[in-house]
Amino acid sequence: MATTVGTTPEFIKLTFRETIGAYLQLSKLRIVTLLLFTTVTAMVVAANGAPQLSLLLPTILGGALASAGASAINQYYDRDMDMLMDRTKKRPIPSGRIKPLSALIYGLVLILLSVLILGLSVNWTAAALAFGGAVYYVIVYTVILKRNTFLNIIIGGGAGAMPVLVGWAAVTGVVSLDAMLLFAIVFFWTPPHSWALALLVNEDYTRAHVPMMPVARGEESTRRQILGYSIALLLVSLLPIVVGTLGIVYGLSAVALGVYLIWKSIQLINERSLEAARITYKFSTAYLAFIFLAMILDTFLLPI
pLDDT string in tens for the chain (304-residue length): 343 334 567 778 888 899 999 999 999 999 999 999 999 999 999 999 999 999 999 999 999 999 999 999 999 999 999 999 988 999 999 999 999 999 999 999 999 999 999 999 999 999 999 999 999 999 999 999 999 999 999 999 999 999 999 999 999 999 999 999 999 999 999 999 999 999 999 998 999 899 999 999 999 999 999 999 999 999 999 999 999 999 999 999 999 999 999 999 999 999 989 999 999 999 999 999 999 999 999 999 865 4
Domain locations along the chain: 16-173, 176-304
Question: What pTM, to 2 d.p., does this model score?
Answer: 0.92
- Tell me which fold the domain 176-304 belongs to: Four Helix Bundle (Hemerythrin (Met), subunit A) (1.20.120)
Q: Is the separation of the CB atoms in 87 and 201 below 8 Å?
A: yes
Three-class SS of residue 119?
helix
Q: Burial, 140: exposed, middle or buried (Cβ in 10 Å; 0-12, 13-18, 19+)?
A: middle
CA neighbours within 13 Å on the CB side: how many for 84?
A: 14
Architecture of domain 16-173: Orthogonal Bundle (1.10)
Q: Give the span between the Cα atoms of 107 and 101, in whole angstroms.
A: 10
Q: Is the separation of the CB atoms in 70 and 106 below 8 Å?
A: no
Same CATH fold assignment for domains 16-173 and 176-304:
no
How far are the Cα atoms of 45, 51, 57, 217 from residue 54, in angstroms, in the given order?
A: 17, 8, 6, 48
DSSP class of 52: P
Exposure class string for 73-103: b at 16+ Cβ within 10 A, else e: bbbbbbbebbbbbeebbebbbbbbbbebebb
